[in-house]
Structure 1
């Protein structure tokens, strides 16, 4: 009887974990799909999309503890080609892997730095895909979140981003075009930067739960448009909650 009860709770836990991971998968795909739709409306061709997850691993006593974490990560992240461990003021090792089709590149980095007499460690896992093919994007996002659940034991944050190119002349100026894109998310501006060839708007939309707090208000959407000169292309990037440049 006791074994049956334990088995029941194990199954219940696994089912709950599956539901959580599946919900995260659909959130990530939904956000990327919404951003892709916004680019379509502006006649922008998708060039790439990316997912970026960062989380704290905790503390380890010394470099030997860090090496043990590296060994565990390598065992969990099979198929990555690893760099040599770098060390100066902090320790860092990076693994890279390409999908069989070559359309998706994954990168995972484990970093440790001195803090309070120990080494604080954090992990970054990122993926970048070329173009937009739903038959590639959706299955990979499922795989991505499975790996996030494997690599990250504690709390982590995931960022989504999509970029594209407009080859012709945009119907509006850069700022008005950014506002036009922003309205497709029913968002309100929080901060903005306007230059002759570059515009960036940080905004907040109630459509998405995640947010970060700035000095002014909460935000969870960022839009950047850069004109690449006379007769050149116009690059458009959308990210949530912010555009990540680290990857």
Structure 2
């Protein structure tokens, strides 16, 4: 499926989409196993000095992060990583030469294992601060959560998907159905980011996988698309 990024917003606008997804899954008695928020910005064309200045500025702002820089045939990748408790934060500055300037992408990602009240309380301010400190313009954000159903689901996968789409106030745009796996791309009024799927817009994806006899049933939900492997 070919998708194009739609409108851009910052995570500072209202409640975090990540928290909206977590709230719905918890209400459905689904145990959250991992989560991630990914934000990125395509910057205006920069020259080499401007990129170096931007990297130096971020290194001054985040001196306790582990920084590394790799270059090959003009391509440059600066990466900073900070690990704390069950969370990992990453900043990437990716630059590709085009004539005398560089096409540059800035990426911020935070991901973690499990979910508790401390994460829920601390995450919004941390992410809002990071977005403000790292990006110069509006960043496009992707939120994703993976979880497990606490009990054996008593519905078929299509019926469970239909129920979850209703809970997320979403209208299905595309679907994929297999014996032990089902996924849906849909549009929900709960989320602001969106991408184009053909001629339609979508802003949430759900995937449910049944691990077989005695196995767990897992779910991944992402907005506007899934970014965790499933």
Q: TM-score if structure 2 supplies the norm length?
A: 0.85
Cα drift, residue 129 of structure 1: 2.2
Partner of 1:162: 145
Separation in structure 2 between the aligned mates of residue 96 and residue 220 of structure 1, nearest angstrom? 29
Are 2:35 and 1:49 aligned?
yes
Separation in structure 1 between the aligned mates of residue 62 and residue 189 of structure 2, nearest angstrom? 35
More divergent stretch after superposition (47-56 vs 35-44): 35-44
User: 5+ unaligned residues in a row in structure 1: which ranges?
Assistant: 1-19
Indicate how the Cα distance of structure 1 residues 190 and 89 shifts in structure 2: closer, same or farther if over 3 A, else same: farther
Separation in structure 2 between the aligned mates of residue 24 and residue 109 of structure 1, nearest angstrom? 20
User: 5+ unaligned residues in a row in structure 2: which ranges?
Assistant: 1-8
Partner of 1:181, secondary structure, is helix
Report the structure, 1 or 2, having the larger helix content.
1
Partner of 2:140, secondary structure, is strand
Report the structure, 1 or 2, having the larger strand content.
2
Partner of 2:55, secondary structure, is helix
Separation in structure 2 between the aligned mates of residue 242 and residue 158 of structure 1, nearest angstrom? 10
Cα drift, residue 50 of structure 1: 1.7
Partner of 2:12: 24
Partner of 1:67: 52
Higher relative contact order (CA 8 A, sep 6+): 2
Are 2:109 and 1:126 aligned?
yes
Q: TM-score if structure 1 supplies the norm length?
A: 0.80
